[in-house]
Amino acid sequence: MNAREIAKGIKVISTVHWERRLFDSLIPLPDGTSYNAYLIQGSKGTALVDTTDPELKHELLDQLESVEHIDYLVTQHSEQDHSGTIPDVLARYPKAKLVCSSKAKDLVLTHLDVAPERIRVVEDGEEISLGDKTLQFVYTPWVHWPETMCTYIPQDKCLLSCDFFGSHVATSDMYVTNKELVYEAAKRYFAEIMMPFRNMIRRNLDKLSGLEIDVIAPSHGPVYNEPDFIVDAYKDWVSPSMKNEVVLPYITMHGSTEMMVKYLVNSLADRGVTTHLFDLSVTDIGKLAISLVDAATLVVGTPTVHIGPHPGVFYAAHLANMLRPKLKYAAIVGSYGWSSKAIEQISGLIPNLKVDVLGTILQKGAPTEDTYKQLDELAEKIANAHKEDELVTTE
Ligand code: FEO
């Protein structure tokens, strides 16, 4: 996209990756993504904050064609999608200094081979003056790497937040226009990338609450000119409160596990509990991550393959363990032909989840009347636990 002004002297240069469908060979991108760099032109100096993914470097460099001089290239986060074009920008502007946090210096040296004499490390709270604009650096560690920082421009009450508050959305809109789309994309982004660092993010939100902010300009997705929209969403996602919801990823091979989990979904619904059911053989793993942001209970459903759980269930259990959602309760249900260690193996995969296990049901062959009775009992336990915790149902 052409560079566009979000405030006088501050331009967003958004390179839009419309067709990208996978990030880090891991994260689905159903709506593509964008990488935003910001050009700040003050009365006595010019800075570029972040760059773009190397695949789109020419789009950024084309937009910089008319910019004769850059004094500072700020890197807020060293992941390649923002830092990968740093060597090209530094080559074009040989007098520019690369500005980074103290923890980023090592990453910049090892990942990008930047000459040490071109690097200027800034400390938390340090400022660089561009004349009538000031860059104030705010360390925001673990959103989502240890070196991450934001840049605040007090004259415009503008916060450049990099991944923090970002959304993987390919859009030609400069500001948020479709709130529903951006909310979903930002929640997906939070779930997949930020959720393991929930407690650190809460501290960083507290830290930022001391700043007057009119505009939040992230490095993915549209700019927020109503910052409360995304700040309130983040406050909700990092809060300890959970919802009256169950997340139930499962796989079935010959139908027994599917009969069990679908019966359980009905039994939970009869008791007022919402279930998000995911057939792992076809599911978008990002949707599963989103549902883990709010849910109180995880139930895993698996058939038995060579004694253990289905490999797809291994993957989902490992993912849930890695994302460290709030979850308070868990259960495992499944089936087998002649022998199974599926429950023990799944339990061993989720040590990060500090959950009370409310039940395990392992059925030999097709479910029977007794299996359905056990599933009703499990649903009752889950519903009662949610009631005792006074969890609310999603509206
Ligand atoms: Fe958008 Fe962590 O990179």
Confidence of residue 25 (pLDDT cuts 50, 70, 90): confident
If one looks up domain 246-385 in CATH, what number appears?
3.40.50.360
If one looks up domain 4-238 in CATH, what number appears?
3.60.15.10
- Taking alpha carbons only, the member of 233, 270, 263 closest to residue 248 is 263
pLDDT in tens, 341-354: 999 999 999 999 99
Residue 392 above 90 pLDDT?
no
For 176-197, letters b (16+ CB in 10 Å) and e give beeeebbebbbbbbbbbbbbbb
Distance CA(332)–CA(312), nearest Å, equals 15
Q: What does DSSP assign to residue 193? A: I
Give, using CA atoms, the residue closest to atom 3 of ligand 1: 79
pLDDT in tens, 118-162: 999 999 999 999 999 999 999 999 999 999 999 999 999 999 999
Quote the ligand 1 centre to 80 CA distance (angstroms): 7
CA distances to 97, 99, 100, 126, 151 from 122, rounded to whole Å, are 12, 7, 6, 6, 11
pTM: 0.96
Q: Assess contact for 274 and 383: CB atoms under 8 A.
A: no
Quote the ligand 1 centre to 55 CA distance (angstroms): 15
Residue 360 above 70 pLDDT?
yes
Atom of ligand 1 nearest to the CA of 220: 1
Q: What does DSSP assign to residue 54? A: G
Give, using CA atoms, the residue closest to atom 2 of ligand 1: 79
**Residue-level pLDDT at 395:** 60
24 dihedral zone (left: phi>0; alpha: psi -120 to 50; beta):
left
Domain residue extents for the chain: 4-238, 246-385
Atom of ligand 1 nearest to the CA of 80: 3
The token duo for 223 is: 């700019």
Give, using CA atoms, the residue closest to atom 1 of ligand 1: 163
pLDDT in tens, 43-90: 999 999 999 999 999 999 999 999 999 999 999 999 999 999 999 999
Count of CA atoms in the C-beta half-sphere (13 A) of 305: 13
